[in-house]
Each structure stands twice: as structure tokens, then as C-alpha cells.
């Protein structure tokens, strides 16, 4: 996924009210100005919202939008991390289309946000004439903290009843004869594996265990994150199982 416009570097002041972030711009004609950016991330952003960190913003493309900036990337130590949760579906869809996800190869069509299971919308629906449809749910994974093995990035970063419901919905589709896959997308350049943050949300770990037992598959993918160009899938990662318990 290429950025439509060059990103602007800044310094994070604070993230607040879930969807807002104050940033001091560090380049361009408005360098030194503090702006408020849209934070397209409803999670806790644990470990990726430290004030003073370098961040990159994209300028709004729609004229007249209330917030003229969107927070895209943060730098944590030497790693770049994508924090915009509207990005993963597009990144994964592009990777599947380009044949960079072998586990999800062989489907002729990709549709997005298709209603399913009577109460949800699937992130990606893969279809082909010679095989059952494949329902793909995509989760953004960014949290790394003490207590987890080195290089393991954890999901979720807070209690997620919605995430647990998605696991149930995927299992329902398997029972109906379809294929169902949970994709964990690590938008970090320093991630080597995916783990489940058991101590933060025990119910999610239990729900994943049930889903796996019922035939739901898991695919873990890593990303290149480059403020100068874009974000794209560049590696397959293992899932650490059973779940790990980070420090709280």
C-alpha cells in the first residue's frame, strides 16, 4: 500500500479521547505548529502512544474535513509501527491479490465488508468457482511489552468482546462448510512472531482455542513499514501458542 501523499514527520504530544492526537509538526511550511490529527485506532494503543515519539501524519485528501491530518506511523526505538487500523484490510487484500500470501492463494475474487453469520461483516471474502468460499478476518497487531518473548507482538492490547465475537462467527462459517481464517497483521518492522495477550483478555485466548478446535485457521503476517513509501506484507510469522502473559 503506497501512501497517496508524502507523510509529514512530527512529534507526539498526546493521544486522547481515543480518536484524537496532538502532534508538533517538524517539517514543511508549518514546522513548529501543534496540530490535532485523527487517530484511526479504537484500541488502547498500549506501547505505541508514548508522548515525545516521532510520528508521521498523512494530509487529508477530502477538502473540508474537520481534521486535516491522520496519524499513520509511530517510531518505537528503531522500529516503525503502523497505527492506522483502516490500513490492514487494504494491505492484506493487496498481498493476497499479488500472491504474497501462499496460504490464501488460488482465489479469483476478493470482496470486502460482506455481511455474514447473520450479524457481522467479514473483512475479506475470497471466492473461486472450484472451492468453498474463504472468510478472512484481519486484526492489527502492534503491542510489544515486557514479559513476552523477544520479538513477539501481542494481540489484543485491551479486552475485545468484538474480537471474541468474530472468532465465533468464523467458527460458524466452518460449520457451514466454508473456510475461515483469522489473519493477524503485525504492522511493526521488529516483529518476529504473534502471541495472544492472555493476561489482558483471558476470554479472547479461550475463544481462539475453541475456534482453532472447530477448524478456524490462523495466518500471521509481518509488514514493511516505511514512512517514505508505504506499508506492505513482506513475511509470514509463526503464532506462539499457547498464549503468553505480558507484564501488566
pLDDT tens for 162-211 read 999 999 999 999 999 999 999 999 999 999 999 999 889 999 999 999 99
Q: Which of 43, 61, 82 is the C-terminal boundary of a domain?
A: 82
Same domain, 98 and 161: yes
Q: Where are the beta strands (DSSP E) in 51-130?
A: 54-59, 69-76, 79-82, 109-116, 120-128
Residue 120: its pLDDT value, please?
87
Same domain, 100 and 173: yes
- The DSSP bridge partners found for residue 21 are 15, 37
Residue 145: its pLDDT value, please?
81
For the chain, the average pLDDT equals 93
Residue pLDDT, tens place only, 42-96: 999 999 999 999 999 999 877 777 899 999 999 999 999 999 999 999 999 999 9
Same domain, 126 and 198: yes
Domain of residue 168: give its range. Answer: 88-237
Number of domains comprising the chain: 2
What's this model's pTM, rounded to 2 decimal places?
Answer: 0.93
Same domain, 52 and 104: no
Residue 149: its pLDDT value, please?
66
Same domain, 117 and 233: yes
The domain that contains 62 carries what CATH number? 2.40.50.580
Same domain, 93 and 78: no
Confidence of residue 119 (pLDDT cuts 50, 70, 90): confident
* Adjacency order of strands within the sheet including 230-237: 109-116, 120-128, 131-141, 179-186, 217-226, 230-237
Same domain, 192 and 70: no
- CB proximity list for 16: less than 8 A, separation 6 or greater: 22
Same domain, 94 and 68: no
Same domain, 50 and 152: no
Q: What is the pLDDT averaged over residues 127-144?
A: 97
Same domain, 155 and 209: yes
Answer whether residue 248 shows pLDDT above 50: no
Same domain, 30 and 70: yes
Same domain, 74 and 115: no
Amino acid at each position: 500500500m503506497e501512501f497517496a501523499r508524502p507523510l509529514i514527520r512530527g512529534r507526539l504530544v498526546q493521544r486522547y479521547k481515543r480518536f484524537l492526537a496532538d502532534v508538533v509538526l517538524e517539517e514543511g511550511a508549518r514546522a513548529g505548529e501543534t496540530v490535532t490529527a485523527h487517530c484511526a485506532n479504537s484500541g488502547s494503543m498500549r506501547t505505541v502512544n508514548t508522548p515525545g515519539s516521532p510520528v508521521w501524519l498523512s494530509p487529508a485528501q477530502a477538502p473540508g474535513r474537520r481534521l486535516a491530518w491522520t496519524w499513520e506511523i509511530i517510531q518505537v526505538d528503531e522500529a516503525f509501527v503502523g497505527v492506522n487500523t483502516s490500513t490492514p484490510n487494504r494491505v492484506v487484500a493487496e498481498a493476497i491479490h499479488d500472491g504474497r500470501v501462499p496460504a490464501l492463494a488460488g482465489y479469483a475474487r476478493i470482496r470486502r465488508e460482506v455481511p455474514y453469520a447473520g450479524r457481522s461483516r467479514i473483512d475479506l471474502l475470497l471466492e473461486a468457482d472450484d472451492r468453498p468460499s474463504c472468510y478472512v478476518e484481519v486484526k492489527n497487531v502492534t503491542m510489544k511489552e515486557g514479559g513476552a518473548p523477544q520479538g513477539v507482538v501481542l494481540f489484543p492490547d485491551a479486552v475485545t468482546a468484538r474480537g471474541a465475537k468474530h472468532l465465533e462467527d468464523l467458527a460458524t462459517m466452518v460449520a457451514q462448510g466454508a473456510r475461515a481464517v483469522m489473519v493477524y497483521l503485525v504492522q511493526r518492522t521488529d516483529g518476529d512472531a504473534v502471541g495472544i495477550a492472555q493476561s489482558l483478555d483471558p476470554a479472547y485466548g479461550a475463544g481462539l482455542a475453541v475456534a482453532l478446535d472447530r477448524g478456524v485457521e490462523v495466518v500471521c503476517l509481518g509488514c514493511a513499514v516505511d514512512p517514505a513509501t508505504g506499508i506492505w506484507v513482506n513475511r509470514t510469522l509463526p503464532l506462539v501458542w499457547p498464549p503468553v502473559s505480558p507484564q501488566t
